[in-house]
Amino acid sequence: MSKKRRMGQPLEVEKAKNWRKTLIRIWQYLDVYRGQLFLVLFTVLASSGLGLLGPYLIGKTIDKYIAENNGNTFIFILVMIACVYFFFSLTSFMQSYWMIGIGQKTVFTMRKQLFNQLHKLPIKFFDKRQHGELMSRLTNDIDNVSQTLNTSVIQLSSSVMTLVGTITVMLILSPLLTLITMFVVPIMYFGMKWITNRTGRLFKEQQKHLGDLNGFIQETIAGQTIVKTFSQEEKIIADFTEKNERLRDAGYWAQVYSGFIPKLMNMLNNLNFAVIAGAGGILALKGYVSIGTIVVFTEYSRQFTRPLNELANQFNTLLSAVAGAERVFEILDEQEEKDSESSRKIDYIEGEIEFTDVSFSYDQEGQEQTIKHISFRVKPGETLALVGPTGAGKTTIINLLARFYETSSGEILIDGMDIQTIQRNNLRSHMGFVLQDAYLFQGTIRENIRYGKLDASDKEVEEAAKIANAHSFIMKLPNQYDTLLKQDGSGISQGQRQLLSIARAMLSNPSLLILDEATSNIDTITEMKIQEALFRLMEGRTSVVIAHRLNTIQNADQILVLDQGKLIEKGTHTSLLEQRGFYYDLFHSQIHEGVGS
């Protein structure tokens, strides 16, 4: 479909309904500040009234001065005009002051709710979304709502009040001239309708493309090393240009159409002015109205189109804010990860794990099973190793054990309890994770280790680091435990990150340990340190190890060999070698590649 035709489409009724719902929802946020809103509306009413009084007094001055040459009244009216405009400014200032306060508090709440919600959503929610796009909702979309609240509420109410007031005064002054002024209204109405039909959808598109672009930028910055390693600079620049173009087009047309509004208004304003001046002049010559009335009228006719103009402009801003708010509410309405009412907390676990006929699929329809009818049992304190080619389902088993995802069928038991009956946070609090990508936060080394147990003392942190073989390298850093790590922990080596991650797990003292071995190249000495630290960490705990190098799991109590989601072999290192099956081949292929030796 061509761009022109798409733009010609009227807004669908469904969307209009959604907007109404969104506006009601925004109003619910504002409702909390009802008292302050009342103050705002009161000052808006006052400033609108004062705004109307100004021209009226000017008209009076002209009539008094020119017609009656009454000096005293003239001075009195001048003082009155000065007072009116002073209070007009004061009330205008106060309304902005209060409204900005309400707006900021409202978006503060919205931002907080959105952030909290993001952390309550299940991992599967993030699978399908770009992180930058989500960030865009937290920043750009919320900003949009904020800006609208700061200005639009005042302008909308002020415009309505000024409009009603102006028409009333105009009618009192001269019904005939008022009628003449009104000829612009139908032109305005149809002109505005034509424009807003187009801008609504375009603003929504603009927000969407902005989100996409932000997501892309965030991803490419985070993946800089990969981009450079694979010399993909040109490709990502091309992709970026495409997204940027889409944003430009949506933004361009949204601005072009909304830019028509002030132009249209200006034109009608000038036309109106000319008509009033002409018709008013004739009426004045015939003695139906005074000169002062015509001056006042031209001023009022401006005041009459101004609120209409503002209403139209604000309508556009409002549309853009509604588009932003809709994207925020969409996330707030996502189903959060909730524990059932009956789920319980457990204080202590022995560490027995049992999978009984567990199957699982990442897609909702369950078309492609990632885990197929898997059963095994691990006794407390034992080490279970998961091996298999890439994509076999090893990480998925861990995801299910930690309840990042729920099984499609079968049961997972810990100490004989179905994990679905245990609160997720409580379950995870008994688990320690040392993952391949040891995520470190911006902060000191101490803070990063303390993440494992927030109330740990400095001494405990250092003890954990010592057991994890991290103490010696930390002491060589410029500020030792107070060394500041960059946001992604990029100031230290991969191996050192692993050691910190082990220290963190050590500090949390979990009953169940989940280890995802690092596959990347780490120097032999650091590797030995990591192995030693891991053995210490695993002592006396049930451990589930995703093993990439088979030499590290030769002492495991049980090894599960997975392939395409199926458990194909099970046993100890020796028994599996004796079977001369998949494990045997895998082990020997690694020896030949020099990985397993």
Ligand X SMILES: Nc1ncnc2c1ncn2[C@@H]1O[C@H](COP(=O)(O)OP(=O)(O)OP(=O)(O)O)[C@@H](O)[C@H]1O
13-30 vs 291-332: helix crossing angle, rounded to 10? 90
Give, in degrees to the nearest 5, the angle at Cα 412 between 406 and 416.
140
Applying the rule CB under 6 A, the residues between 110 and 139 that interact with ligand X are 127
Minimal distance, residue 160 CB to ligand X, in Å: 51
- Distance, in Å, from the CA atom of 208 to the CA atom of 327, rounded to the nearest integer, reads 9
Asked if residues 388 and 563 have their Cβ atoms less than 8 Å apart, the reply is yes
Q: Which stretch binds ligand X (CB under 6 A): 56-64, 383-391, 437-445, 534-542?
A: 383-391
Minimal distance, residue 593 CB to ligand X, in Å: 16
Minimal distance, residue 391 CB to ligand X, in Å: 4
Neighbours of 284 (CB within 10 A): 15
Select 56 or 405, whichever has its Cβ closest to ligand X. 405
Minimal distance, residue 109 CB to ligand X, in Å: 32
DSSP 481-519: GGPEEPTT-TTS-HHHHHHHHHHHHHHH--SEEEEE---
Interface residue with ligand X, options 388, 432, 495, 510 (CB under 6 A): 388
- Distance, in Å, from the CA atom of 514 to the CA atom of 394, rounded to the nearest integer, reads 11
Beta partners for 383? Answer: 543
Q: Which stretch binds ligand X (CB under 6 A): 69-77, 385-393, 417-425, 478-486?
A: 385-393
Length of the chain: 597
Q: Is 359 in the site for ligand X (CB under 6 A)?
A: no
Applying the rule CB under 6 A, the residues between 518 and 577 that interact with ligand X are none
Q: Which stretch binds ligand X (CB under 6 A): 40-48, 325-333, 388-396, 407-415?
A: 388-396
Select 72 or 390, whichever has its Cβ closest to ligand X. 390
Q: Is 292 in the site for ligand X (CB under 6 A)?
A: no
Distances (CA, A) of 437 to 550, 567, 570, 595: 20, 26, 28, 20
Select 65 or 125, whichever has its Cβ closest to ligand X. 125
Q: Is 364 in the site for ligand X (CB under 6 A)?
A: no
DSSP 313-374: HHHHHHHHHHHHHHHHHHHHTSPP----TT-B--S-----EEEEEEEE-SSTT--S-SEEEE
Select 395 or 579, whichever has its Cβ closest to ligand X. 395
Interface residue with ligand X, options 392, 400, 474, 560 (CB under 6 A): 392
Q: Is 396 in the site for ligand X (CB under 6 A)?
A: yes
Minimal distance, residue 45 CB to ligand X, in Å: 56
DSSP 136-205: HIIIIIHHHHHHHHHHHHHHHHHHHHHHHHHHHHHHHH-HHHHHHHTTHHHHHHHHHHHHHHHHHHHHHH
Beta partners for 396? Answer: none
Interface residue with ligand X, options 85, 87, 362, 582 (CB under 6 A): 362
Q: Is 370 in the site for ligand X (CB under 6 A)?
A: yes
Select 397 or 507, whichever has its Cβ closest to ligand X. 397
Minimal distance, residue 441 CB to ligand X, in Å: 23
Select 372 or 466, whichever has its Cβ closest to ligand X. 372
- Distance, in Å, from the CA atom of 308 to the CA atom of 244, rounded to the nearest integer, reads 34
Contact letters for ligand X, residues 44-73 (x by CB under 6 A)? ------------------------------
Which chain residues interact with ligand X by CB under 6 A?
127, 362, 370, 388, 390-396
